[in-house]
Chains A and B, each alone.
Chain A
Amino acid sequence: MLYREAGQFSLHYADDRRFFRLRQDRLGLAALLTFAFVGVPLLGNDYWFSAILIPFLVLSLAGLGLNLLTGYAGQLSLGSAAFMAVGAFAAYNFELRVAGLPLLVSLLLGGLVAALVAIVFGLPSLRIKGFYLLVSTLAAQFFVQWALTRFSWFSNDSASGVISAPPLLVAGHDFSSPVGRYLLTLVVVSALFWLGANLVRSELGRNWMAVRDMDTAAAVIGIPLLKTKLLAFAISGFLLGIAGSLWAFTYLGTVEPHGFDLNRSFQILFIIIIGGLGSILGNFLGAAFIVLFPILLSNLAALLPAGLIDAGQVENLQKIVFGTLIIVFLIKEPEGLARLWQRFRERARRWPLRY
């Protein structure tokens, strides 16, 4: 009943290629975007911006980056945090050393540097398949972390290796307030998601999925494996690099290698597993889960009689629950929350009918 689909036909191929073929879905998206750009800034408070919305947006973007590489192109990677770190440090250094460079350009350049590094560590994917590829991305993870700490040039020779983020000035406007940081992040993330969504529906996206599903067949029908795999690494690195810059500039306010360690790489991998491999929406769902779940858990623990579960234990409990959820999702719903959402939507389309 909500979805009166009668009469909605695609008259042109271009209509069929839209993200949302049904008018109701497009209205829903428009409403969501309006809410995000206008409603939230008016209604939200600083805590929500700084502690929940910004990390949610940035982690969604990071998830998208990894999802393109692992979910669509099938190249397993544990180096996501390293590429984020490269992006953050590169953007920081560009801002610092090139006078008058606009902030957005620095972000872009940081992303490009991350893309280059990703290509280097992605080259082995041409000889090595599947699971062994892990070692290349692990090498990236450890090497990058070591290099950024070891060579103080990257952190502008600061004594502690920790530096504060540059001022967030875009076109003369200051975006450093919580609302400002939220809007800046929202704009960047929306733009990149639009790009990502176009990509997965384009020929490159199909080539990625072909390489993922059966690369020998892909080669035989003429898909260039070298270019396809390297582009996956490059674009994934680019998105992760920008996510890293945003993480440092708009969320943390500092640029440090410590926050981009192996645990972060795992976190992003969990986001895409729980959210759904090979899905765009899944990145948002997974990131929302990763951001909200610990908060939920601490709040629940706070409700219980004092002393039953102390603070340290909450963290352990979190680990246990995460691990369990990963396994449960892999067994029951390998396509993650995105698939659950899809099933829900399908029922909504038919409602109140059953079939």
Chain B
Amino acid sequence: MEFFLEVLIGGLLAGVMYSLVAIGFVLIYKASGVFNFAQGAMVLFAALTFVSLLERGVPFWLAFIVTLAVMVALALAIERAVLRPLVGRSPITLFMATLGLAYIIEGAAQALWGAQVHGLELGISDEPLELGGLLLSQFDLFAAGTAAALVLLLSLLFNRTRIGLSLRAVADDPRAALAIGIRLPRVWAVVWAVAGFVGLVAGLLWGARLGVQFSLSLVVLKALPVLIIGGFTSISGAIVGGLIIGASEKLAEVYLGPIIGGGLENWFPYVLALLFLLVRPAGLFGERAIERV
């Protein structure tokens, strides 16, 4: 029983990491209506920039701020060069554009910083902590705490500020938002910048866990099942979805793996999400699109 709980909690905490990445997706989807495939590349780019600055002797907090500035600049560039020309096009077109974007950012990241793995030390000890008779990773707990803080921050942003209101308006109907005078470019820039910030935090945490390397951009793809279960438009959904995916993935790996074979985690989340979709096409917290004929 203890083992099961440890695996479960380990999975939940890993799931929190997925949620962090998924939140970035949700933000952009809420505001631009597009599934930003380039999110993974952006996370990677943020982590790489940060690590490279650290390696050149730049102090932690300065590196953080500089990287944040770079991400914001990147966000603005994306808004200008990619989003604006594609206003009003189909979601599939936008998705394909973000695919192209992912390639650009990945290529640029590799060109600038090289392909080796960089280690990232965040100063959190990896010693297991004992809580109620169970062994838990301190790192995972720290990540969970960070995620919680982030969610709180974002909820405040969305629900208590004016810009948050504009964001929600734009998410609902960009053209109507334009009609009432909301400056779309500004809103998009803010959202992509916030997503960049979330991406940076996620990138740092993931980078500390896995080392900063290219498989990081594959984490992106895992966010898709998370979003499907949680719904594309809800941050709480991203959290819940991440927890579900993290836990089920770990449990499947440990309990089903010996029977079916290793490497289960490569496809299990997708099949799970697929089955989920068949039952609830809009996810747990998502909105059902109403089609008027």
Contacts and interface: CB of A to CB of B under 8 A. Distances in A.
Contacts of B13: none
Given A127-B281, A136-B274, 18 more contacts: A127-B278, A128-B278, A130-B91, A130-B92, A132-B228, A132-B277, A132-B281, A138-B224, A139-B267, A139-B270, A139-B271, A146-B264, A150-B260, A150-B261, A313-B111, A320-B103, A324-B104, A326-B103
Nearest to A220: B293
Interface string A17-41: 0000000000000000000000000
Contact of A142 (B115, B260, B266): B266
Nearest to B98: A327
Per DSSP, chain B at the interface is helix
Nearest to B82: A327
Interface string A113-154: 000000000001001111110111011001101100111000
Nearest to B94: A330
A325 interface: yes
Interface in A270-312: 273, 312
A323 B270 contact: no
A129 B102 CA distance: 24
Interface string B256-293: 00001111101100110110011001000000000101
A323 B293 contact: no
A166 interface: no
Interface string B219-259: 00100110010000000000000000000000000000000
B108 interface: yes
B148 interface: no
13 contacts: A124-B277, A139-B270, A139-B273, A142-B267, A142-B270, A143-B270, A146-B263, A217-B293, A316-B110, A320-B104, A323-B103, A324-B100, A326-B96
Interface of A: 76, 124, 127-132, 134-136, 138-139, 142-143, 145-146, 149-151, 216-217, 220, 262, 266, 269, 273, 312-313, 316-320, 322-327, 330-331, 334
Contact of B107 (A142, A151, A323): A323
Contacts of B63: none
B79 interface: no
B278 A124 contact: yes
Contacts of B224: 134-135, 138
B100 A327 contact: yes
Most buried by A among B107, B278, B291: B107
Contacts of B270: 135, 138-139, 142-143
A322 B103 contact: yes
Contact of B277 (A127, A149, A262, A266): A127
A312 B114 CA distance: 9
Nearest to B105: A323
Interface in B12-49: 35
B96 to A, nearest CB: 6
B106 interface: yes
A334 B88 CA distance: 13
A325 B96 CA distance: 11
Interface residues of B, number: 45
Given A142-B270, A327-B100, A327-B101, A316 B111 contact: yes
B181 interface: no
Q: What are the 3 closest A-B residue pairs judged by CB atoms, nearest first? A: A319-B107, A326-B100, A323-B103
B131 to A, nearest CB: 34
Contacts of A145: 266
B95 A131 contact: yes
B133 interface: no
Nearest to B110: A316
Contacts of A316: 107-108, 110-111
A322 B100 CA distance: 7
B99 interface: yes
Given A134-B224, A139-B267, A326-B103, A317 B111 contact: yes
Contacts of A128: 277-278, 281
Given A135-B228, A320-B108, A323-B101, A143 B277 contact: no
A312 B266 CA distance: 28
Contacts of A216: 291, 293
Most buried by A among B35, B92, B102, B115: B92
A143 B228 contact: no
Contacts of A325: 100
Nearest to B102: A323
A129 B278 CA distance: 11
Contacts of A326: 96-97, 99-100, 103
B5 interface: no
Nearest to A329: B100
A152 to B, nearest CB: 11
Most buried by B among A129, A312, A316: A316
B149 interface: no
B59 interface: no
Contacts of B108: 316, 320
Contacts of A317: 107, 111
